[in-house]
Copies of this chain bind each other. A is one copy, B any other.
Amino acid sequence: MGASLKDVAQRAGVSVKTVSNVVNNYPHVTPAMRERVQQAIDELGYRPNLIARHLRKGRTGIIALAVPELGNPYFAELAGAVIDAAARHDYTVLLDHTGGRRENEILVSQGFRAHVIDGLILSPIELEAEDLLGRSEDAPLVLLGEREYEAPYDQIAIDNVAAARSAVRHLTGLGHRRIAFLGARRESARRPAHLRLRGWREELTAAGLPCDDSLVAATDGYGRVDGAAAMNAVLDRGERPDAVFAYNDLVALGAMRVLTERRLRVPQDVSVVGFDDIEEGRFSPVALTTVSPDKQAIARLAVQRVVARLAGTPGLEPEHIQPGYTLTVRESTARRT
């Protein structure tokens, strides 16, 4: 084991308190004293034990980030941004993934890891507002993502309805009229997250177009396979949409793959819009048009919020904060021919 404060104090011939003062850079330590202590520290290779420090202070310097699936590049990219944002506040990130399953999300929100984390950033999929009711955990919780909760917690999410509408508007603006939506939750899933679906519906209605349910396909998850299955489902119904708006980029990518297989050209025959702006979409053979949430801002705000609550900033009401987004137009959308 390494040396402790006591060892250093002994070697330097001072009290533990003095060493602590030096280590923590407190003012009012004579340079000579500082020098002497520093030398003992160097000789012993002393490094403070954060665990002990934090036991004392009641803080660990660790915040947890729980996302559904790291295999989804959106969450991987977001996690990277959160790690960087946390580092700027001297916080370390402990990463969990829930698989988007309600039980795991409850477990995490209820303070699994109690005491080892100071705060929690959670991106839920199936979690219900009622699951949050009994939350006894005192670590600040910040919610991310498409779900909206009637609960007294900070929530950071772009305006999903407006963002979805901007995507659909782009499509209608290009002359498309039969616009499929891929990635609705199955009826079986409780309280489906349909902000984006609602955006689709609202914008079509605003454009005076019908909302044809046979153009809506539910999926089990939000991966490439799900997008492929959904696209096949719509096509197998005999529908021939002239555009597709997908729940996210992964679903869009899966759909594009199917379109190509079935000899439909993107964008000449079918325009495709995704959501998330993952790097992969930029490099797909037909670069994907997509809604681009400001991930850096999301990460920054989430961390800031946790840190502010931890610092006990007074008068901090739970807020729903909406970072910005843009519609990034690439090659997968074109004017209707």
A residues sitting closer than 8 Å to B (CB atoms) are 1-2, 45, 47-52, 54-55, 58, 60-62, 69-71, 73, 75-77, 79-80, 83, 92-97, 111, 113-116, 136, 138, 223-224, 228, 253-254, 256-257, 260, 279-280, 282-286
Contacts and interface: CB of A to CB of B under 8 A. Distances in A.
Contact of A284 (B48, B77, B285): B285
A60 B75 CA distance: 26
A73 B83 CA distance: 17
A116 B280 contact: no
Contacts of A94: 62, 92-95
Main secondary structure of the interface of A (DSSP, over half): mixed
A80 B100 CA distance: 13
List the number of copies, as a whole number: 2
Contact of A47 (B62, B73, B111, B285): B111
Nearest to A282: B224
A110 to B, nearest CB: 10
A30 to B, nearest CB: 28
A332 B9 CA distance: 65
A209 to B, nearest CB: 30
Given A83-B95, A253-B283, 6 more contacts: A48-B114, A48-B115, A52-B115, A92-B96, A224-B283, A260-B285
Nearest to A75: B76
